[in-house]
Amino acid sequence: MARLPRFRLPDYPQHVIHRGSDHLAILRDEEDYWVLWGVLHDACDRFACEIHAYVLMPNHFHLLLTPRREDGVGKLMQCAGRQYVHHFNQRYGRSGTLWEGRYRATVLDPDAYLLAACRYIELNPVRAGLVAGPDEYDWSSHAANALGNEDELVQPHAVYRQLGRSAKARRDAYRTGFGTPLSADFIKRLRDATNKAWVLGDAAFCHDIEARLNRRALPRERGGDRRSAAYRRAAATGAAAATGHR
């Protein structure tokens, strides 16, 4: 099946994931983590992207970011990916590709899913069994979003800023959200949307993205009124039921 075109859409958040080829450990020690953090930071400045949440894992990384220009995400991933491969290959005496194909991404409705996606990303080390809690992992946005630690890679989204009138109130509300487990349905929908380049949102949001990009937002059904069936299913799922956030 042909690959769907990239999401070239400014001012809408995207969940992005990039993996090492064949489960290769792309981050082996602290120097590697700092290099990847640095190339992502520089690429965000260069290509006008704002990262709201991230996690750097041993063999992959997640970003939740909003591009401010149409080609922002693609340019960022291309630039950061090439720079990090150059570092990795030189340091470890290897050549060739490092990544498992192209990066994967989904556009998501920030009002319904942004905070849940942040929690999903920052809980990745917990799900992987690396730490007992997200505050124990050094290479994610959790310390910035939940604890107020300085991290130049993190730019709060408007949805995050609406959590409270003060920085402390926002951090407290953000941490409280981690007390509600993410539903298995939400996790599956986020993963499917990211891996298959679909849109994560209700019927109205998906329709808006389709109109803006002139591409399908959801997969076609087998037979019947495919588009309306997909929209009904997305609407029926609902943000509140999926995330437990609202």
Mean pLDDT of 164-188: 97
Q: What is the pLDDT of residue 244?
A: 54
In CATH terms, the superfamily for domain 14-181 is Transposase IS200-like (3.30.70.1290)
For the chain, the domains span 14-181
> What is the share, in percent, of the chain residues with pLDDT greater than 70?
88
**Predicted local distance difference test score (pLDDT) of residue 221:** 67
pLDDT of 11 reads 97
| Band (6; pLDDT cuts 50, 70, 90) | confident
User: What pLDDT band is residue 210 in, cutting at 50, 70 and 90?
Assistant: very high
pLDDT beyond 90 at 229: no
Secondary structure (H, E, C), the chain: CCCCCCCCCCCCCEEEEEEEHHHCCCCCCHHHHHHHHHHHHHHHHHHCEEEEEEEEECCEEEEEEEECCCCHHHHHHHHHHHHHHHHHHHHHCCCCCCECCCCEEEEECHHHHHHHHHHHHHCHHHHCCCCCCHHHCCCECHHHHHHCCCCCCCCCCHHHHCCCCCHHHHHHHHHHHCCCCCCHHHHHHHHHHHHHCCCECCHHHHHHHHHHHCCCCCCCCCCCCHHHHHHHHHHHHCHHHHHCCC
- Asked whether the predicted pLDDT for residue 227 surpasses 70, the reply is no
pLDDT of residue 126: 98
pLDDT tens digits, residue range 123-169?
A: 999 999 999 999 999 999 999 999 999 999 999 999 999 999 999 99
Percent of the chain with pLDDT over 90: 82
What pLDDT score was predicted for residue 241? 47
Q: Check pLDDT > 60 for residue 236.
A: no
Average pLDDT over residues 4-9: 86
pLDDT(243) > 60? no
Compute the mean pLDDT over every residue in the chain, rounded to the nearest whole number.
91
22: pLDDT strictly greater than 70: yes
Closest CA to 138 of 127, 125, 121: 125
- Reply yes or no on whether the pLDDT at 224 is more than 50: no
Question: Per-residue confidence at 174, pLDDT binned at 50, 70, 90?
Answer: very high
Helices 72-92/30-47 angle, 10° precision: 150
